[in-house]
Structures are given as structure tokens and as C-alpha cells.
Amino acid sequence: DFEYVIDTFKSVFPLTDSETGEIQESFDIVSNNFFDNKTSRIIVDRMARIKTKDPNVESFLRDLIKWFNIQLRYADDIVVYGNL
């Protein structure tokens, strides 16, 4: 299902790692990707704009957005593992 949102995650790069100051040039499809709260909210906003007529994809997006919003109430960072 990640195929429906991967471009949304890729769209926020390059990023600066808030802990190390290192520049992350692109989404790492085989490792951890750290998104601070502010960047995660941008991703959620962009996911909410994805248009689909497929009810399964719509349900997936709704559930994913809901999960993110719950986590972002208290999380400083969200880690997304690229396992493609």
C-alpha cells in the first residue's frame, strides 16, 4: 500500500537531520527515514490531498492519516522504515 504515498514522503526531501545536522538527500528505500513533527504534518497534509476512486485505497489513506495524527500529538519524530 505504500506505493500510494511514497511520492508524498519523497516530496519533502532533502531534509536536515535535527539530531546530527546531516543532510538527507532522498528517501531511503532500505533503511530508516526520520521526519520531525513539522515535516510529518506536511506529509499528512499532502496525503490528505491524494485523490482516488478506489475505496480500499481511500480507507488505507484515511487510516494512515488518522494514525499519523494520533502520533503527532506527542511525537517529536516519526520514523518510516523503507523496506521496498
The structure's pTM equals: 0.90
The beta-strand segments (E) located in the chain are 15-16, 23-24, 32-36, 77-81
Q: Average pLDDT, stretch 65-71?
A: 97
pLDDT tens-digit readout, 8-32 = 999 999 998 777 888 999 999 888 8
Please tell me which residue, 81 or 58, carries the higher pLDDT value.
Answer: 58
Q: Average pLDDT, stretch 66-76?
A: 96
Q: Cα 50 to chain center, whole Å? A: 13
Whole-number Å distance between alpha carbons of 27 and 73: 24
Residue 65 has pLDDT above 70, yes or no: yes
Read off the C-alpha cell for 59.
480507507
Q: Average pLDDT, stretch 44-53?
A: 96
pLDDT in the model for residue 84: 57
